[in-house]
Structure 1
Amino acid sequence: MGKVATTVDEQIKLLTDRGLILDCGEQKVREHLLDIGYYRLGFYWNPFEIDDEHNFKRGTNFSTVINLYYLDVDLRFLLMRALNRIEINIRTQIIYMVSNHYKNSPTWFSDHKVMKSKFIDDFPKFYNQKFIDNNKPIKEHHNKYINDIYAPAWKTMEFLTFGSIYSIFYNLKDNDLKKKIIQYYGIKKVDVFINYFRTIIFIRNICAHSGLLYDANTPLAVKPTPLIKINRNNRHSLNTAIQVIIYFLGRISTNRKVDLEKDIQELYVQHKQNKEIKEIIENKIGYEFC
């Protein structure tokens, strides 16, 4: 499709002209196009296109495209529940351990003895009047303590983005304190924890913004350790990133880890009978069926 908007009728004609089989009926196709959108669905029929003219592989069904779409939706939902748990836990551990290590510095994130200078210099860009106004506990703190530049860490950090929490950990000066924090997760090397942290943030951002998940490859290769299962030696695959998420969840709750592994396996098995989607699960996501 070019730069001119098209109607649903025109979209349906384009799809059929390119060889897509409307096996679920034209009315249902119309409903899906109006519900999900032609452009977004394009990410899910792209694997079945065979040339630059967007023609489809012979025998491609519209229902297969929709099933792939809902595989992606359901997988995002499962991961987002786990990622929320992990995000809160990592945030809590950093707040707790660093705040208790520097008991006499409640705003240790702005202390040059604790943090690298660049982080401290940049922090006012985030902790501005808009940040104060948008977060009621922070606003109430400043109304009560009018001379404070910042609220204490245990208040402030609850309202920072997960990316900012990563930056705080990364910019801590005390490497021994970093090692103490990562011991909670059974990790010995700070660079490994940072690699896994960034992997978690990458997948979290895709899930939080309803992005394309099944085709995701992590910008960073996941560092190989005995902690993480890496299928087919693909350290960039979605499945490898999921193994990082599963590992961290297991350090927080064994039951939730077991549930997540079971739910993901069951989701994949639901789609196993469709040959095209099974190939995507194996070759794009990187999951190996037993």
Structure 2
Amino acid sequence: MGDKATTVDVQIEKLLSRGMELDIEVEKVKEHLLDIGYYRLGFYWYPFEVDADHNFEKGTKFSTVIDLYYLDVDLRYILIKYINRLELNFRTNLIYWVSTHYDNNPIWYTDAKIMSGDYLKDIKSHYNKNFKKKNLLINKHHINNPDDRFAPCWKTFEYYTFGSIVKVYEHIIDDDVRKKVSLQYNIKKPYKLQNILDTLVFVRNSCAHSGVIYDLHIDEGVVEMSSYKFSNDYSHSLDAAIKALLYVMEFISLDRKNELELKLYKLFDKFKANHTIKSIIEDKLGYTYSC
């Protein structure tokens, strides 16, 4: 292996040799390197590298790298809060609209006439003894109803992750039933809601696991709705995901949508005077600063 561990002092020497300006006290630089890590900070000085040897553009400051890092941290906290709001709302709508359609079948999510075979073949792998035991209300249901193989969806789905809930929606066979849910977000075609949900599950998981957000790439791309346009017509960036989140949030709570927009505005506005970070926000996140 060519890589080997290095001390903080060696890391600082390497940054200086590559052209980084240490515009804050060396002890503070060491603190950041020991707190965040040299490798992780590499995701935030990467935009300033100019060649294959990882040399930096002239004038690259360590403080700018730290600013970009904390922009990313704050952005993650904002996004995960509102995606969690969507998760709760979507779970409620899925349970309500599908359950009222199949009103005599509280465990419709296990029914081969309702759910695709691809989904059902995996259900036993997660709805097992461990699932029943570790989730209090599910355990209580099976104690009180020992003949039931599964608990009603409104109990079960409380213990599903956002991704698992979205997979349930994806595998409902009847598209008209899926449409009942998508219409709650003013989306006529269920595949469009599916795309938005898949995107936001990906963003949410990236946020939850401290992924790099500002430069996030969404492989599938986000469907475009008539009420929003993507920056540079590029549907694979975080900008596209944020616009999709704002779109569905409007039909959950206009107050929450406006609140999200305001928080993003306040976060991005903090960097208005920092031309380097400002340009990254405009290019990567699609935010346009007013003059």
> What is the TM-score with the length of structure 1 in the denominator?
0.96
Residue 112 of structure 1 deviates from its aligned partner by 1.3
Residue 2 of structure 1 deviates from its aligned partner by 4.9
CA distance in 1, matches of 2:96, 2:3: 52
The DSSP-based 3-state class of the residue aligned with 1:252 is: coil
> Corresponding residue for 1:213?
213
> Corresponding residue for 2:256?
256
Do the aligned partners of 1:217 and 1:238 also contact (CA within 8 Å) in 2?
A: yes
AA aligned opposite 1:115: M
> Corresponding residue for 2:124?
124
AA aligned opposite 1:59: G
Residue 180 of structure 1 deviates from its aligned partner by 1.1
| Alignment coverage as a number of residue pairs | 290
Which consecutive residues of structure 2, in runs of 5 or more, have no partner in the other structure? none
Residue 288 of structure 1 deviates from its aligned partner by 2.2
The DSSP-based 3-state class of the residue aligned with 1:96 is: helix
CA distance in 2, matches of 1:95, 1:254: 22
CA distance in 2, matches of 1:17, 1:2: 19
> Corresponding residue for 2:196?
196
Deviations 1:123-172 (A, max 9, x none): 11111222222212112222222221111101111111211111111111
> Corresponding residue for 2:285?
285
CA distance in 1, matches of 2:228, 2:84: 20
Which consecutive residues of structure 1, in runs of 5 or more, have no partner in the other structure? none
Q: Matched residues, percent identical? A: 48
Q: How does 1:82-101 map to 2 (within 5 A)?
A: 82-101=82-101
> Corresponding residue for 1:39?
39
Do the aligned partners of 1:231 and 1:288 also contact (CA within 8 Å) in 2?
A: no
| 16-25 vs 216-225, greater mean Cα deviation | 216-225
AA aligned opposite 2:84: N
CA distance in 1, matches of 2:227, 2:203: 19
> Corresponding residue for 2:149?
149
Deviations 1:206-242 (A, max 9, x none): 1111100000121122222213332221111211110
Q: How does 1:1-290 map to 2 (within 5 A)?
A: 2-290=2-290
CA distance in 2, matches of 1:241, 1:182: 17
AA aligned opposite 1:132: K
The DSSP-based 3-state class of the residue aligned with 2:251 is: helix
Do the aligned partners of 1:215 and 1:284 also contact (CA within 8 Å) in 2?
A: yes
The DSSP-based 3-state class of the residue aligned with 1:177 is: helix
CA distance in 2, matches of 1:235, 1:272: 25
The DSSP-based 3-state class of the residue aligned with 1:4 is: coil
> What is the TM-score with the length of structure 2 in the denominator?
0.95
AA aligned opposite 1:82: Y
